[in-house]
Amino acid sequence: AGLARNAPLTRPRPGHADLVGMQKYGFDDARPVLERASARETAARVALGAVAKAFLLQAYGVQVLSHVVSIGAVEVPDGTPLPRPEDLAVIDESPVRAFDAGSSEAMVAEVDAAKRDGDTLGGVVEVLAYGLPPGLGSHVHWDRRLDSRLAAALMGIQAIKGVEVGDGFESARRRGSLVMDEIVRGDEGLTRTSGRLGGTEGGMSTGEPLRVRAAMKPISTIPRALRTIDTATGEEAAAHHQRSDVCAVPAAGVVAESMVALVLADAALEKFGGDSVDETRRNCESYLKSLAIR
């Protein structure tokens, strides 16, 4: 039988904050933990991220977007072109926010299969930022490095278990000559021949498109309840189950996009300052014109 509304929850879910939160704060009920640990609080972060995205576009011409690159075992094929800001409508038309139409259909099928099996799915989202100036972040201090700030912001999203910038972990399996983005002179100055490093070098933006990914584990509330211990009785039990999604990866992409925008807005204001949008825009334009190496 189901629990009465607001009855104490004493069967913590594996993979959730339930048990450790109860231990840390001395609770005999998981409800205060699960309510505060819920991803519902990211609604506020998405609202703030919308302001940050509008500011980045208005002040510096920077555009930020996200898309889903994998759900469960279904991945967007290697070599698929990266979406650009003008492709946002295509992404939003996909029920899983995937840019590649074929992958979108396969991801939907993967979610449907997990639902039938009483299970949940995770996946990977990718956030892209176009139009960044070079030099956001710092190579000097660890806590000012753009990479570390992005990684911390993304790891702070519920259920995120991994972050990579550019090709990230894949780069560790390649030789250096196949990883580094070579520098050439283009029509608008120095540029890179590839984007394998994700638009950062030495903890700073390079001026190339920024590309970061975040890996989300499957949702911890699984219809096919896993084993746990009832903390009230000390006996083995089935984990508590409440209404939940099968897959939250598309939503996580929107949250990740917002967190990246907040980090970039903070780094840009750190670099360019100003008391108005016009002033910080002028500061950025002056900086770009004065670059000793362009």
Question: Domains of the chain by range and CATH?
Answer: 7-37 (no CATH), 42-290 (3.60.150.10)
Amino acid 1: pLDDT: 46
Give the per-residue pLDDT at 244: 77
| pLDDT digits (tens), the chain, 294 positions | 456 667 889 999 999 999 999 999 999 999 999 888 988 999 999 999 999 999 999 999 999 999 999 999 999 999 999 999 999 999 999 999 999 999 999 999 999 999 999 999 999 999 999 999 999 999 999 999 999 999 999 999 999 999 999 999 999 999 999 999 999 998 888 999 999 999 999 999 999 999 999 999 999 888 888 999 999 999 999 998 777 789 999 999 999 999 999 999 999 999 999 999 999 999 999 999 999 777
- Predicted confidence at residue 7, as pLDDT, reads 83
Task: At 248, give phi and psi (nearest 5°).
Answer: -115, 15
Q: How confident is the model at residue 240, as a pLDDT? A: 84
pLDDT, residue 223, reads 84
pTM of the predicted protein model:
0.93
